[in-house]
Amino acid sequence: MRWIWMAMLLVVACGGGEPKAEESAGAAMSAGNYGVAMDKASEGIERAKTQGDRAVVWRLEMIVMESMARSGQGALVVAELERLSQEYAKQVNAKLYLGLGSHAKAAGDTNGAIELWAAGDKKYPSESAQFKREIDALQAAGSLDPAELEKLKTLGYIQ
């Protein structure tokens, strides 16, 4: 009888690595420790992949992407979204591009926000008005530097 309790404690202590990774990565992200959040989520992703748990993998990938956007790495998130859209086509959508772009913008990564919104606009032309609205708001704020203005010209958002 005693060994059953010990076995159950061992299962509880050793199992659930991904929920623990998800909790600790989420807590780190909430605290603004984006590097820690990405590291913990990436470790959890590898374990969840070996267990074939796609739902956990997706949630941890979201923590990685949001942490990247919030830490000013918005342009790198575009490649991650493209990679993930192969496996998670239903989850990667216009709303995700818009949200991650907003996180990049809030982090002061205007270039990353432009990259995300332009990529989303190209990928989801039926949602173009939403992406253009965000880009127009950047222009209206009047805080774009010359390189960002040139990028918008190159992308065809301004003349």
pLDDT tens-digit readout, 62-87: 999 999 999 999 999 999 999 999 99
Structural domain boundaries in the chain: 16-71, 72-159
For residues 45 and 60, is the Cβ–Cβ distance under 8 A? yes
- C-alpha angle 75/103/113, rounded to 5°? 40
Q: Which two tokens stand for residue 122?
A: 């190209």
Collapse the DSSP code of 159 into the 3-class scheme (helix H, G, I; strand E, B; otherwise coil) and give the result. Answer: coil
DSSP, res 31:
T
Q: Which two tokens stand for residue 84?
A: 């993930």
Question: What tens digit of pLDDT does each residue of 89-143 get?
Answer: 999 999 999 999 999 999 999 999 999 999 999 999 999 999 999 999 988 888 8
For residues 104 and 122, is the Cβ–Cβ distance under 8 A? no
Q: How far apart are CA 45 and CA 131, in angstroms?
A: 30
